[in-house]
């Protein structure tokens, strides 16, 4: 930066109105919106020069004859820091003896600071289009970002090992999901872990996410389609055909729902899921899956199908199990429970000795149990002794066809509502993985992926939708993020999405080459593997239940209880639906509630007001009664932006304050105040408003004016946009009493003084043109940038010898 440029920057940074805000904002604008320098000077030198210019400007502003906001200058101390932030040092900021220029030599700035792509600012439209297309493509295909920067030495071994580890126990699980939960051939469960997995690895933003069929979603799909699959007592072949058709339709609906939500940027809906709803959902699914697994493990599947038990509620299934224990198949039960206890043994051993022997983390216990059961079933001929086996599985054909045909379209309406709820819960589970398993940004830089894009729930929706779009043509099970396998993937050492690609190729090899090898696999072994999933879904429930009691979280506890009770008594779908409805009602109730406070003055102060109903940091509960309340003035604070959603109750809550002076009184009690009061609105929190809110404010002001009362606005965040809205709606005209400027004041104390001195009872000389000039002079700034200290001082604060300030000038100086 040259000397002329340095002087020019210094002159730009000089405060034009005696405000530190103007200095800092000019500096930030010059730093945040500068895309490069044509001088050829390095970025570090440029930053040092910029800081030096800022420090010189502040030093010029803090001379005794030109102090910022009138603060006295202290030796060796920038006046603006002392005056504005007297306790700044307590929070680790600059000490009074430090200047901003000294920070430039102490802060380690990055050596390679990114530069803006010049093509984005080219005068040629073709160059700009090509540049933006490249960035958009990388945005929706993160593999183009992380793969070119992939570190083979640091990440390859961990990704491959993690991918094979996940494959060793998820391939057997996919077989159980397909046949046990949904009733489709096992190959459709395997297909969900093949090519859709690769699609997500290319488009997903969470490095450790492993997508595919999930037990909770499989249970819900099985229950949703069971009434249509078993209607009319069809043959086994017809039931299987119907299950395949309905499964393909649900996968197609998943793809449509996710893609629409992604392109409409509705990723924020993951915030609709409360912790109680998530815990109730997981627990309810765990209960249903446990009962389904027990029926399979005891060899009661045929009897259950004959009595139409798969479509019954969880309570009916429990009664069926207890009634038919005597009919359980001994060999099937022995295989299931022995396999289950072996899995639990290895799991406990891994947890106990994993830190001492890290190799145990990669021990493929489930894979070895599956291989051992296949060998034992083949050698001991378990099938002839009554144990059900997987049998010959048809190798999937890569013949892509759509499940949405003229024959199946009439069936879409039958399961569309269930598919939407299931898809929404699947997205909630995926969002929980992104928030809880992989920190963004990573807390440990040594395990951070190489230049991985920022996690985005909107792009996650697009990635899931595209993966299901491919899966629907193969009639695979729906694909979502799996919490358990993603957590295991992170523990196994995964660094990037390459681990998912390794997992997908391992599944492809098994699906298209090794299916005959699992001919003798007992279904009881698959039930044992599912038992591990049941434990995983239910093991955290007791601790979270205790946590709800400790925190007195009765709302969440009630939601969990309702969902479990409805699941046991009616069905899982109804329980989940009721939980979602309750959660949405809570959100709408919270969003539409008008939050206003009644204020009172803190004794011994002039312009310090607190909520008269709720204790604060400096006013204890027992001190609320000592606050000074004004009987002829109602002080009301609006704490949030006013919109059509939350302004509906403003008038009714205001009338309640008029009657009682507090929100703690029930409206059935007799009135305690006459309601004949002037009103001062503290609008510091009302940073925005819409036309509906303006109409409500107009009605309030008109009602008070008809009674001969005044309405004054204090601490209004006066942006140009809001003031124009007030003017055009006529609100400013209603607030201008007896030809005075509109009653906008910079402080509550100033508004109260205007009422005490009866300023509005004498004629003024204000005209609407004055307001037009005031609005035109405003900068359209963010409301938070308005500084109260930049407002002119009160008339009593003027020093002796100054000219007497007339009412018009006084009110203009008090206007925000």
Handedness of CA 32, 33, 36, 38 (dihedral sign): negative
Closest CA to 487 of 434, 557, 437: 437
Q: Does residue 795 surpass a pLDDT of 50?
A: no
Integer-rounded Cα Rg, in Å, for the chain is 34
What is the share, in percent, of the chain residues with pLDDT greater than 90?
22
Question: Higher confidence at residue 584 or residue 77?
Answer: 584
> Is the Cβ–Cβ distance between 214 and 158 less than 8 Å?
no
What average pLDDT does the structure give for the chain? 77
β-partners of residue 744 are 713
**Full DSSP string of 27-64:** HHHHHHT----SS---HHHHHHHHHHHHHHHHHHHTBT
- Domains along the chain with CATH numbers: 3-106 (no CATH), 151-351+391-541 (no CATH), 593-814 (3.30.750.24)
Quick one: pLDDT at residue 91? 33
Task: Please give the average per-residue pLDDT across 428-447, as a whole number.
Answer: 63
Residue 469: pLDDT band by 50, 70, 90 thresholds? very high
Q: Does residue 10 surpass a pLDDT of 70?
A: no
β-partners of residue 767 are none
- Token pair of 712, please? 């004054």
β-partners of residue 633 are 678
Task: Please give the average per-residue pLDDT across 424-451, as a whole number.
Answer: 64
> Is the Cβ–Cβ distance between 717 and 686 less than 8 Å?
yes
Task: Please give the average per-residue pLDDT across 759-777, as a whole number.
Answer: 81
Closest CA to 288 of 312, 304, 305: 312
Picking from 138-147, 653-662, 804-813, which range would have the lowest pLDDT averaged per residue? 804-813
Q: What is the pLDDT of residues 116-137, one digit of tens each?
A: 778 888 888 888 888 888 888 8
Q: What is the pLDDT of residues 27-64, one digit of tens each?
A: 333 433 333 333 333 333 333 333 343 344 334 444 44
Closest CA to 24 of 3, 53, 45: 53
Residue 777: pLDDT band by 50, 70, 90 thresholds? confident
Quick one: pLDDT at residue 792? 33
Instruction: Please give the Cα distance from 721 to 723 (Å, whole number).
Output: 6
Q: Does residue 502 surpass a pLDDT of 90?
A: yes
β-partners of residue 599 are 611
Q: Does residue 391 surpass a pLDDT of 50?
A: yes
Predicted TM-score (pTM) above 0.75:
no
Spell 649-676 as b/e; 16+ CB within 10 A means b: ebeebbebbbbbbbeebeeeeeeeeeee
Query: Coil, helix or strand for 744?
Result: strand
Query: Coil, helix or strand for 254?
Result: helix
Picking from 231-235, 437-441, 515-519, 706-710, which range would have the lowest pLDDT averaged per residue? 437-441
Instruction: Please give the Cα distance from 791 to 233 (Å, whole number).
Output: 81
DSSP 689: B
Please work out, in degrees rounded to the nearest 5, the angle formed at the alpha carbon of residue 640 by the alpha carbons of 637 and 641: 120
Which stretches of 154-284 are assigned E, i.e. beta strand? Answer: 211-212
Picking from 263-272, 640-649, 792-801, which range would have the lowest pLDDT averaged per residue? 792-801
Q: What is the pLDDT of residues 279-319, one digit of tens each?
A: 887 888 888 889 988 998 999 988 988 887 877 888 889 99
Quick one: pLDDT at residue 107? 45
Placement of tokens 């043994």 in the chain: 345
Residue 452: pLDDT band by 50, 70, 90 thresholds? low
Task: Please give the average per-residue pLDDT across 741-756, as a whole number.
Answer: 90
Secondary structure string (H, E, C) spanning 138-180: HHHCCHHHHCCCCCHHHHHHHHHHHHHHHHHHHHHHHHHHHHH
- Token pair of 6, please? 């340095």
């Amino acid at each position: 930066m040259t000397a002329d440029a340095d002087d020019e920057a210094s002159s730009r940074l000089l405060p034009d109105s005696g405000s530190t805000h103007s200095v800092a904002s000019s500096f930030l604008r010059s730093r945040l919106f500068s895309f490069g320098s044509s001088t050829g000077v390095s970025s570090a030198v440029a930053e040092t020069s910029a800081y030096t210019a800022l420090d010189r400007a502040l030093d010029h502003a803090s001379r005794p004859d030109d102090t910022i906001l009138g603060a006295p200058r202290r030796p060796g101390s920038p006046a603006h820091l002392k005056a504005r932030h007297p306790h700044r040092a307590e929070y680790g900021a600059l000490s009074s003896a430090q200047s901003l220029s000294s920070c430039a030599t102490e802060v380690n700035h990055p050596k390679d600071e990114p530069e803006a792509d010049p093509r984005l600012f080219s005068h040629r439209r073709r160059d700009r289009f090509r540049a933006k297309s490249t960035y958009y493509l990388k945005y929706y295909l993160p593999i183009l970002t992380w793969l070119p920067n992939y570190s083979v030495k640091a990440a390859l071994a961990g990704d491959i090992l993690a991918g094979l580890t996940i494959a060793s126990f998820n391939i057997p699980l996919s077989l159980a999901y397909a046949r046990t939960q949904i009733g489709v051939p096992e190959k459709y469960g395997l297909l969900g872990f093949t090519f859709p997995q690769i699609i997500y690895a290319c488009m997903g933003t969470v490095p450790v996410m492993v997508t595919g069929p999930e037990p909770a979603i499989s249970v819900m799909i099985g229950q949703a389609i069971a009434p249509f699959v078993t209607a009319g007592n069809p043959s086994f072949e017809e039931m299987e055909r119907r299950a395949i058709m309905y499964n393909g339709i649900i996968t197609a609906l998943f793809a449509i729902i996710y893609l629409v939500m992604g392109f409409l940027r509705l990723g924020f809906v993951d915030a609709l899921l409360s912790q109680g709803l998530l815990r109730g959902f997981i627990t309810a699914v765990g209960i249903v899956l446990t009962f389904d697994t027990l029926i399979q493990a005891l060899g009661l599947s045929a009897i259950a199908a004959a009595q139409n038990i798969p479509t019954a509620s969880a309570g009916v299934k429990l009664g069926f199990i207890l009634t038919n224990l005597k009919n359980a198949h001994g060999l099937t039960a022995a295989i299931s429970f022995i396999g289950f206890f072996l899995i639990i043994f290895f799991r406990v051993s891994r947890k106990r000795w994993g830190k001492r022997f890290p190799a145990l983390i990669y021990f493929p216990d489930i894979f070895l149990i599956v291989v051992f059961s296949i060998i034992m079933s083949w050698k001991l001929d378990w099938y002839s002794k009554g144990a059900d086996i997987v049998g010959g599985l048809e190798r999937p054909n890569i013949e892509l066809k759509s499940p949405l045909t003229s024959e199946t379209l009439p069936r879409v309406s039958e399961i569309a509502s269930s598919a939407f709820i299931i898809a929404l819960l699947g997205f909630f589970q995926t969002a929980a993985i992104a928030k809880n398993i992989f920190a963004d940004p990573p807390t440990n830089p040594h395990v951070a992926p190489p230049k991985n894009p920022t996690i985005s729930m909107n792009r996650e929706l697009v990635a899931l939708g595209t993966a299901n779009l491919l899966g629907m043509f193969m009639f695979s099970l729906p694909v979502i993020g799996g919490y358990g396998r993603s957590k295991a993937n992170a523990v196994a050492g995964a660094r990037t999405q390459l681990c998912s690609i390794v997992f997908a190729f391992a599944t492809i090899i098994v699906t298209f080459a090794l299916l005959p090898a699992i001919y003798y696999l007992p279904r009881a072994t698959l039930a044992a593997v599912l038992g591990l999933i049941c434990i995983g879904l239910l093991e955290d429930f007791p601790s979270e239940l205790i946590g709800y009691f400790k925190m007195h979280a009765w709302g969440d506890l009630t939601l969990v209880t309702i969902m479990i009770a409805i699941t046991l008594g009616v069905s899982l779908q109804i329980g989940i639906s009721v939980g979602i409805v309750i959660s949405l009602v809570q959100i709408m109730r919270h969003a539409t509630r008008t939050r206003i406070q009644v204020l009172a003055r803190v004794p011994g102060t002039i312009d310090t007001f607190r909520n008269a109903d709720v204790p604060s940091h400096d006013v204890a509960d027992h001190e609320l009664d000592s606050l000074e309340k004004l009987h002829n003035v109602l002080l009301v604070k609006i704490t949030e932006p006013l919109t059509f959603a939350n302004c509906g109750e403003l008038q009714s809550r205001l009338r309640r304050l008029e009657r009682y002076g507090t929100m703690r009184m029930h409206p059935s009690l007799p009135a305690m105040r006459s309601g004949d009061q002037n009103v001062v609105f503290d609008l510091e929190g009302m940073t925005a408003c819409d036309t509906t809110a303006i109409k409500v404010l107009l009605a309030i002001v008109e009602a008070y004016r008809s009674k001969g009362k005044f309405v004054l606005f204090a601490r209004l965040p006066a942006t140009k946009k809001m003031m124009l809205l007030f003017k055009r709606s006529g609100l400013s005209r209603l607030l201008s009493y007896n030809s005075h400027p509109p009653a906008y004041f910079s402080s509550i104390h100033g508004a109260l003084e205007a009422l005490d001195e009866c300023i509005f009872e004498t004629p003024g000389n204000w005209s609407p043109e004055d307001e037009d000039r005031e609005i035109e002079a405003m900068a359209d700034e963010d409301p938070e940038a308005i500084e109260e200290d930049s407002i002119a001082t009160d008339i009593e604060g003027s020093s002796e010898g100054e000219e007497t300030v007339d009412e018009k000038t006084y009110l203009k100086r008090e206007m925000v």
